[in-house]
Amino acid sequence: MKLFHRDSPRSSHYQLSATSEDRFRAMIERSISRARYISSIISGTSYSARYDDSDGYSGGGGVYTSIASSPSGAPAPAPASSNLQTKVIPNGGDYLTELEIGTPPVKIVAVADTGSDLVWVQCKPCKECYNQTDPIFDTSKSSTFNDSVSCESRICRSLLSSRCKNNQCDYDYEYGDYSYTFGTLVKDTFTFSSAASSSSIPGIVFGCSHESGGTFDPNEDGLIGLGGGPASLVSQLDNSTHGKFSHCLVPYMENTTSTLNFGDNSVVNGPGLVTMKMNRHKTFYYVRLLSVSTGNNDTVNLDQDTNIIFDSGTTLTFLPNATLTKLINDLSKTINLTRAKDPKIDLPLCYSHSANAPPYPFPNITFTFSDNIQPYDPKPVVLTPMQTFAHFSEDVICLAMVGDDGLPIFGNIAQQNLHVGYDLRTNVISVAPANCSNF
């Protein structure tokens, strides 16, 4: 499956009139709201986006959802072995992917999100739905559509907001900013197409949304949950893809696409490969972060071993406040640019630097992770300036990291040009540098 960044000129979401400042401000607002919500889910505390000072779509797992951290869900009938691929499209800090649903297949463009589980699209009849550019999916025109998802099914029971109506599973799924989707769990054939091949998998369970709204974009037909719970697409494809998937996120302003792979072709390899044991909490994938260091090898030690979530739907990277403060102090000693502060964007480390000027040689930043089984076996991932600094306006470049004492998040700017693979059967994350535009 292909991946696109929403703000890439290749994307149908691209708005020529929008400035880079407009785009990044929206990304930051979504990141902050999403990070606060994820932290509330992990900590078990309540979160009300109504009082949040950001106003963007936050994504993430549903407010009412508690997904068991099981390595595989109720798998769809599928061949014993298969390799599936789709393109991925960025979406204002998110990445979008294309696939097809039904028979004959109907193209769907949806948010690809490793931070949530439910797969859903808007369906006819849509009682109260947000404005959608593509035609709304008409289940009556699909010969493979099946609306018999029992209330006793594992996927239905994994959604705490589900309820029964004539032994059909209805769901209420809310996100951190009060965006929502209400509908019925159904089944249909999903088709994954690439330039080389096309594969159809019958019986995928997804939400047929009849009421949805909030801050969803008209170019989004729904959301593809890639989290660790039974309802996610990854779990449902387990029989055919062996619990494996990977993504390679193309830099957000490049006029190209990258890919989302499922199955054996998602195995990560190459120079700089780092493989580490991951833990799962409900939906989320996380590893242990030991330290952060700059190009001059001055290590910024964390106060203690810290769990950090890998999340494709959060733009910025979130670090503990004390860690970020030490990192900024270290970086500021090596960067000979004029410090800047844009009053519209509250990021902690910014410099005056034109987007049209030659790239400045910012130091690399190394994130050292740990294998949970062998905590003293360091796993360094070296991030280049492209993965750590971004022009948040035409004349200001900033560190794409913020401080937060909730659960740290390894965001999608940091994941650009990294091939990131997930194996839900062995609970392993693999990371290697890659040119995602040519992936």
Q: Is 297 exposed, middle or buried (0-12, 13-18, 19+ CB in 10 A)?
A: exposed
Query: Is the pLDDT score of 139 beyond 90?
Result: yes
User: 177 and 44 share a domain?
Assistant: yes
Q: From the candidates 311, 330, 371, 423, give the one annotated as an active-site residue.
A: 311
pLDDT digits (tens, 9 = 90+) for 403-431: 988 889 999 999 999 999 999 999 999 99
Q: Are residues 130 and 194 in the same domain?
A: yes
- Same structural domain for residues 251 and 295? no
Query: Does 205 lie in the same domain as 155?
Result: yes
Rounded to whole angstroms, the Cα distance separating 36 from 402 reads 12
Structure-model confidence comparison of residues 75 and 10, the more confident one: 10
The span from the CA of 366 to the CA of 331, in Å, is: 12
Both 160 and 218 in one domain: the answer is: yes
Q: What is the per-residue pLDDT for 413?
A: 93
Backbone angles phi, psi at 50, to 5 degrees: -60, -30
Q: Assess whether 250 and 334 both reside in one domain.
A: no
Please state, for a pLDDT cut of 70, what percent of the chain lies above it. Answer: 78
Closest listed residue to residue 13, CA positions, set 257, 220, 180, 256: 220
The whole-angstrom separation of Cα 317 and Cα 330 is 17
Residue 311 annotated as catalytic: yes
Last residue of a domain, one of 264, 292, 322: 264
Phi/psi zone of residue 178: left (φ > 0), alpha (ψ -120 to 50 degrees), beta? left
**Token pair of 112, please?**
């690809």
Q: Are residues 78 and 15 in the same domain?
A: yes
190 and 334 within one domain = no
Q: Which pLDDT score is estimated for 222?
A: 92
Q: Residues 419, 436: contact at Cβ < 8 Å?
A: yes
pLDDT at 13: 55
Choosing from 52, 113, 172, 177, which is the catalytic residue?
113
**pTM listed for this prediction:** 0.84
Same domain, 197 and 281: no
For 28-55, the pLDDT digits (tens) are 777 777 777 677 667 665 444 333 333 2
pLDDT tens figures, 140-184: 999 999 988 988 899 998 886 777 877 889 988 877 666 789 999
- If asked whether residues 208 and 295 sit together in one domain, one would say no
More confident residue, 331 or 73: 331
Between strands 244-248 and 163-165, the pairing is unpaired
> CA-CA distance, 119 to 222, in Å (whole number)?
8
Show which of 264, 288, 316 is a domain's final residue. Answer: 264
* CB distance 53 to 33 below 8 Å: no
- Is there a single domain that holds both residue 7 and residue 133? yes
Provide the domain count of the chain.
2
Q: Whole-number mean pLDDT of the chain? A: 81
Q: Taking a C-beta distance cutoff of 8 angstroms, is the pair 290, 307 a contact?
A: no
Identify whether residues 278 and 139 lie together within a single domain. Answer: no
Q: pLDDT tens digit string along 77-91?
A: 333 335 665 554 444
Determine how many CB atoms are found less than 10 A away from the CB of residue 68: 14
Tokens of 70: 């099981």
CATH classification of the domain holding 128: 2.40.70.10
Q: Do residues 279 and 270 touch, judged by C-beta distance below 8 A?
A: no
- Domain range holding 46? 2-264
pLDDT digits (tens, 9 = 90+) for 258-293: 889 999 889 999 999 999 999 887 788 999 898 899
Q: Indicate the residue among 238, 264, 290 that finishes a domain.
A: 264
